[in-house]
């Protein structure tokens, strides 16, 4: 693959464009771009090591289980038991093949999700603006960036407008770096290359165009990532917990097998048989499938969540979702529809209500301040009511700004004319920190500054008000303040407007100062229809929902009360400025923890809030959409970015992207996260109870001096058939949504297998043992003690009993015949598959003799069937009859 290692920061804009052979007006031609894509490769920084088939295959052999099996093969060869040696080799082959296939499937799912999570990039190609998957960018592409974007390749800037970036991904510095286009001298370090933007950095302010010179691994970020990858490992906390559990089980098993070995030797069993049994038991007890089955079920969960509009970026997040205790949610668009309509406009001495929707008959347009208001609303506005497509007007941009354009249009002002007569010369983009935006325009009598934003901020910068056709002293702020409060309390979102006309071009830094107040507009943004129900559902699930908004306290409390999130009491509401006080008293902390609405919160305060809750040991989910939200999204245990409204930077920082921006989808994700963890817990319980029963059966039979109930290869067979497939099927279960969302969140410190679970495991294993040893004892005492028959009956009873044991995994509170297990088609498939495999085993030459199988006949098979059902009856008695197990 080709590399470009020119120092583009030393070239002039023209030289860079010539060198990269790019037309600055039209960008690359499509044909040229695809040629370069094959030349330079995709713009991705991925770890190739994990992906190769060979490395996946080799990983299957780095497993102690496989070593033990190889040891067993060696022992069988040494003692000249060729059939067994070959059989164990086949077992190794099957085991590694299953492991290999499952891991490939998990990798494929992860890759699919990764490609979906990949950022999009805007470029100029063939003279058109296009939005591309960032993987398709090539050197020479003209990259268009603006505030909120994540830079997706390294590019030499060719034009900038007030452009600033946060380059902490590269430099670790979180300060903003201003950019320009001037060439620099050679040898300047990366952090000081002010004419270059780098992959992975975030645009905080302004706009710019750059010509891409490095993609993928050639970018600065790519080089760092390549260095860091040597040390990276993708183990989720869940996998770590599973590994810890496996290690503990290995010790337990070793102790038990030594005991069984010694007791066998004392009874005079053959040495080889006892070595093989000990090894087989050890293998039987270690749930080697756990990590890969859990990875698969997490990955499958991620795919399932995608269908519910939720893109989860890491396996770990699926797990954390189930543990979420607090959700900080913004208001606009998440709890509300974000379908804004101007409901009220108030100018000096005048208020107009638009609730009856007959806007063209309104008096507003005759007010002396109306045209100024309309100008500010149209000019200080980045939205567009584009040309009609299919007869429908298609609006783009912030819904609030769209609503303002519609109002002006409806009230007869020509939007396009206003915009062409007053071209924009400079701007201060909206920022949730300053809660305002401002634009500078040239106009007939000089320069016009238009400002809109939060009442507190705008009014603070206005010393005059536009009254009776001219600026006058702003002497009635208190009255206006009351008006704003009143509108906010009725649930309206309020924006204030101001202007200034000057003869000279004002300095950028002074653009928002010394303004003349025009008036306010109140917007209606209805709550989402399903939101009340979702909030209630969260409350039942023990999840605290907290509204954290940049909006006015009155609006925030009104909406929160309407949707059942707050009781409207003053104690439930807190103003953002209280969050960042340096030394919080215990009482304040308590108030902050009790509150359900935080208003006028800026991104730094959001971060403070997340930290405060995390310090109390709570697992916090936080939603966000702006570029400034990125730190809080990263800090939260689950950062949730909005798919529609979210900026590239917010999406990059988040763990979860909600494609439809709806709060309900967050709830669905949490429910899913809980179900997935439950499934993992259930198959762990299932596997451990089956394994424990095998140990108990062999140990008890040996103490009771019954014939060997299970031979080594039979144990291996049992595990390959009854362990993996039913466990996999349980991992696919849909869960019991009502039960799952009717209990508090699981604590992160909680072990996968709790004390109560251990009691259940022992109970299930005990019941399995009772049924199977019952069969053995019955046949031993009635069938004349023929040891091969006795062994076969025990073996078959255990196979069936373990298969039926799947049905014991249903929760006590659900009916026996209608629950998540019986409703799971994969469970039935697994059972049929296992029964089929058992039947086929009898037909394949050499296999019955390797497994020491003989034909049982109807009578004995009847006994097998009856005794295999005994554990289910016993467990159900304990579960539903006596309520001893859950």
Applying CB under 6 A, which residues contact ligand ATP? 330-332, 398, 400-401, 430, 432, 435-437, 452-454, 495, 549-552
Distance CA 422, CA 636 (A): 44
Which residue, 154 or 400, has its beta carbon nearer to ligand ATP? 400
Which residue, 28 or 437, has its beta carbon nearer to ligand ATP? 437
CA angle, 432 then 544 then 625, to 5°: 25
Q: How far is the CB of 550 from ligand ATP (least distance, A)?
A: 2
Residue 542 — φ and ψ, nearest 5°? Answer: 70, 20
Q: How far is the CB of 331 from ligand ATP (least distance, A)?
A: 3
E strand or H helix at 741, and its extent?
Answer: none
Q: How far is the CB of 334 from ligand ATP (least distance, A)?
A: 7
First to last CA, the chain: 59
Distance CA 826, CA 150 (A): 42
Work out the burial of residue 175: count CB atoms within 10 Å of its CB; fewer than 13 is exposed, 13-18 middle, 19 or more buried. exposed
Q: How far is the CB of 497 from ligand ATP (least distance, A)?
A: 9
Which residue, 332 or 422, has its beta carbon nearer to ligand ATP? 332
Q: Which single residue brings its beta carbon nearest to ligand ATP?
A: 550
CB 862 within 8 A of CB 796: no
Q: Evaluate the CA torsion angle 780, 782, 784, 786 in order and state its sign.
A: negative
Q: How far is the CB of 427 from ligand ATP (least distance, A)?
A: 11
Structure tokens at 670: 């949490």
Q: Is 330 considered catalytic here?
A: yes
Q: How far is the CB of 520 from ligand ATP (least distance, A)?
A: 10
Q: Which of 618, 610, 624, 673 is nearest to 653 (CA)?
A: 624
CB 807 within 8 A of CB 814: no
Q: How far is the CB of 640 from ligand ATP (least distance, A)?
A: 13
Which residue, 467 or 552, has its beta carbon nearer to ligand ATP? 552
Which residue, 406 or 552, has its beta carbon nearer to ligand ATP? 552
187: number of Cβ within 10 Å: 7
410: number of Cβ within 10 Å: 15
Q: How far is the CB of 572 from ligand ATP (least distance, A)?
A: 17
Q: Which of 327, 344, 356, 355 is nearest to 531 (CA)?
A: 327
Ranges of H-type helices in 286-339: 290-307, 315-323
Structure tokens at 64: 């102690």
Which residue, 321 or 495, has its beta carbon nearer to ligand ATP? 495
476: number of Cβ within 10 Å: 15
Structure tokens at 364: 């507003």
Which residue, 551 or 736, has its beta carbon nearer to ligand ATP? 551
In the DSSP assignment, the letter for residue 598 is E
Which residue, 222 or 550, has its beta carbon nearer to ligand ATP? 550
Q: What is the CA radius of gyration of the chain?
A: 34
**C-alpha distance from residue 479 to each of 348, 351, 452, 474, 520 (Å):** 11, 13, 19, 11, 13
Q: Whose structure tokens read 């279960």?
A: 733
Categorise residue 709: left if φ over 0, alpha if ψ from -120 to 50, beta otherwise: alpha
Give the three-class secondary structure for 620: strand
Which residue, 328 or 474, has its beta carbon nearer to ligand ATP? 328
CB 567 within 8 A of CB 561: yes
Please enumerate in sequence order all residues whose Cβ is within 8 A of that of 153, keeping only pairs 6 or more positions apart, or say none: 43, 121, 134, 137, 141, 143, 199, 212, 214, 215, 219
Q: How far is the CB of 437 from ligand ATP (least distance, A)?
A: 4
Which residue, 316 or 401, has its beta carbon nearer to ligand ATP? 401
Give the three-class secondary structure for 449: strand
In the DSSP assignment, the letter for residue 79 is T
Please enumerate in sequence order all residues whose Cβ is within 8 A of that of 266, keeping only pairs 6 or more positions apart, or say none: none
Q: Whose structure tokens read 């439950």?
A: 678
Q: How far is the CB of 390 from ligand ATP (least distance, A)?
A: 28
E strand or H helix at 5, and its extent?
Answer: none
Which residue among 136, 141, 154, 330 is the active-site one?
330
Catalytic residue positions? Answer: 330
């Amino acid at each position: 693959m080709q590399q470009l290692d020119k120092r583009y920061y030393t070239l002039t804009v023209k030289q860079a464009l010539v060198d990269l052979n790019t037309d600055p007006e039209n960008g690359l031609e499509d044909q040229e771009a695809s040629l370069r894509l094959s030349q330079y490769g995709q713009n991705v920084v991925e770890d190739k090591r994990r992906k190769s088939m060979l490395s996946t295959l080799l990983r299957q052999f780095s497993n102690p289980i496989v070593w033990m099996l190889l040891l067993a093969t060696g022992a069988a060869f040494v003692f000249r038991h060729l059939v067994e040696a070959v059989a164990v080799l086949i077992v190794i082959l099957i085991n590694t093949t299953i492991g290999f296939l499952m891991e490939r499937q998990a990798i494929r799912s992860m890759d699919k999700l990764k490609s979906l999570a990949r950022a999009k990039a805007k470029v100029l190609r063939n003279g058109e603006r296009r939005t591309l998957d960032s993987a398709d960018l090539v050197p020479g592409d003209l990259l268009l960036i603006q505030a909120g974007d994540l830079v997706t390749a390294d590019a030499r800037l060719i034009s900038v407008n007030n452009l600033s970036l946060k380059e902490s991904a590269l430099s670790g510095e979180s300060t903003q770096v201003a950019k320009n286009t001037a060439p620099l001298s050679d040898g300047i370090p990366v952090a000081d290359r002010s004419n270059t933007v780098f992959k992975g950095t975030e645009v905080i302010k302004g706009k710019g165009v750059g010509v891409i010179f490095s993609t993928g691994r050639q970018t600065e970020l790519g080089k760092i990532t390549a260095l860091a990858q040597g040390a990276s490992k993708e183990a989720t906390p869940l996998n770590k917990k599973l590994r810890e559990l496996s290690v503990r089980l290995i010790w337990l098993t070793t102790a038990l097998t030594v005991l069984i070995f010694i007791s066998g030797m004392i009874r005079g069993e053959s040495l080889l048989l006892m070595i093989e049994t000990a090894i087989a038991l050890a293998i039987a007890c270690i749930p080697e499938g756990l990590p890969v089955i859990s990875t698969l079920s997490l990955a499958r969960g991620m795919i399932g969540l995608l269908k519910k509009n939720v893109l989860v970026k890491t396996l770990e997040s699926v797990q954390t979702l189930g543990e979420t205790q607090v959700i900080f949610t913004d208001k606009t668009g998440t709890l509300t529809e974000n379908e804004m309509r101007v409901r009220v406009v108030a100018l000096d001495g005048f208020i107009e209500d638009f609730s009856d929707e007959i806007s063209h008959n309104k008096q507003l347009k005759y007010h002396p301040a109306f045209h100024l208001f309309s100008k500010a609303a149209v000019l200080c506005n980045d939205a567009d009511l584009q040309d009609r497509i299919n007869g429908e007007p298609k609006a783009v941009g912030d819904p609030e700004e769209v609503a303002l354009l519609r109002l002006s249009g409806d009230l007869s002002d020509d939007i396009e004319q206003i915009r062409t007569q007053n071209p924009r010369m400079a701007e201060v983009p909206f920022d949730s920190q300053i809660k305002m935006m401002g634009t500078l325009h040239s106009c007939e009598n000089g320069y016009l500054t238009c400002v809109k934003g939060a009442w507190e901020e705008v009014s603070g910068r206005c010393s005059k008000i536009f009254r009776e056709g001219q600026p006058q002293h702003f002497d009635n702020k208190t009255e206006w303040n009351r008006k704003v409060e009143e509108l906010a309390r009725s649930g309206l979102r309020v924006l204030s407007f101001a202007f200034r006309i000057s003869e000279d071009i004002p300095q950028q830094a002074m653009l928002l100062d010394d303004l003349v107040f025009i008036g306010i507009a109140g917007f209606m943004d209805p709550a989402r229809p399903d939101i009340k129900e979702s909030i209630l559902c969260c409350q039942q699930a023990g999840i605290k929902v907290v509204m954290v908004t940049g909006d006015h306290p009155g609006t925030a409390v009104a909406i929160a009360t309407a949707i059942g999130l707050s009781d409207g009491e003053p104690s439930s509401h807190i103003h953002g400025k209280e969050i960042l006080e340096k030394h919080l008293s215990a009482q304040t902390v308590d108030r902050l923890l009790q509150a359900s609405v935080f208003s006028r919160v800026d991104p730094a305060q959001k971060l403070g809030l997340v930290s405060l809750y995390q310090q109390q040991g709570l697992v916090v989910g936080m939603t966000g959409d702006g570029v400034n939200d990125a730190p809080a999204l990263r800090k939260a245990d689950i950062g949730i970015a909005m798919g529609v409204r979210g900026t590239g930077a917010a999406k990059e920082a988040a763990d979860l992207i909600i494609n439809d921006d709806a709060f309900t989808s967050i709830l669905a994700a949490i429910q899913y996260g809980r179900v997935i963890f439950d499934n993992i817990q259930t198959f762990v319980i299932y596997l451990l109870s089956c394994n424990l029963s095998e140990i108990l059966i062999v140990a008890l039979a040996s103490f009771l001096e019954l014939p060997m109930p299970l031979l080594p290869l039979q144990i291996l067979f049992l595990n390959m058939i009854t362990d993996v497939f039913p466990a996999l099927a349980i991992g696919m279960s849909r869960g019991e949504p009502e039960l799952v969302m009717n209990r508090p969140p699981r604590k992160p410190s909680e072990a996968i297998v709790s004390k109560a679970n251990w009691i259940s495991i022992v109970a299930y294993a005990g019941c399995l043992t009772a049924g199977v040893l019952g069969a053995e004892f019955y046949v031993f005492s009635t069938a004349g003690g023929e040891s091969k028959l006795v062994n076969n009956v025990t073996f078959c009873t255990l196979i069936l009993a373990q298969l039926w044991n799947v049905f014991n995994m249903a929760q006590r509170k659900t009916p026996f015949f209608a629950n998540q297990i019986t409703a799971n088609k994969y469970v039935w498939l697994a059972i049929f598959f296992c029964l089929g495999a058992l039947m086929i085993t009898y037909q394949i030459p050499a296999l019955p003799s390797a497994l020491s199988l003989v034909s049982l006949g109807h009578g004995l098979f009847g006994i097998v069937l009856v005794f295999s059902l005994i554990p289910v009856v016993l467990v159900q008695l304990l579960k539903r009859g006596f309520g001893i197990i859950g």
